[in-house]
Amino acid sequence: MHFALRSSGLMAAGLACRAAASCRARAPTFHRGSLRPIHTPVFSATAHFCQSKQRKDYALPNPSWSQDMVAQFNRYMEMTKDGTWKRLPSYRNFLDHMPESMVQEHAENGNRENRMFLRNTDEEGKGFEYVMFVNSSEKKMVCVFQPGPYLEGPPGFAHGGSIATMLDSTLGGCAILAAGRVMTANLNVNYKNPVPLGSVVLVETKVDKIEGRKLLISGQVRSIDGETLHTEATGERSTVLQA
């Protein structure tokens, strides 16, 4: 539960930074080769998050990204031009997503030396390489995911736990968009086909229903051509009551 709360806060902070005009990162172009909150969000979308622009945004292309990964990134970046989709920034440390005025408040449970679970490697391309996009009008979130060799389970394929992690993170992002701070109540994962290491898949999720404090969400992991269903999942999130 503690991890879910931290992850939720992190995603909300990233959404807030993305929404502040002066915080937006200008994404490079590479050649090939609104959900309205039903509760008050954890963070407000203000310019206070601008110090995050000084941190490295890991949700931008790097040399480890395959041509397929770059192509999917460019495809969704094209869709951001009309405002249909928005790219979410992603930083290494939870505190890097927060304004300095709030860092001290959370320093007891985290420090600058800590790293996000999903960004916990020093070498690009070895672990979780991903970028998330949100479509508020359709209540959807998509994660373009390239699993690196440190995520191996069966020889040559991504560990099932890494797939579940990306589903949990993307499903959680949908819930945060709808309700602010949430925590995971349950996650049900059905594996259909293994994901080869180094391949690129789309983690597609959406909010299906909101019942009071309960949010029902579903998602799939598919190949970029849409032909292979790798994994499907359903989840439930609950909004966190304010103290």
Residue type, 216: L
CA distance 96 to 15: 13
168 annotated active-site? yes
Q: Token pair for residue 26?
A: 């200008």
* Listed residue (168, 181, 187) closest to 238, CA to CA: 181
Selecting among 82, 168, 208, 225, the annotated active-site residue is: 168
Q: How many Å from the N-terminal Cα to the C-terminal Cα in the chain?
A: 17
Angle at 168 between CA 149 and CA 94, to 5 degrees: 80
Strand ranges for 96-139 from DSSP E: 128-135
The strand order across the sheet containing 201-211 reads 86-88, 128-135, 140-147, 201-211, 214-223, 229-239, 182-191
CA distance 68 to 33: 8
Catalytic residues: 168
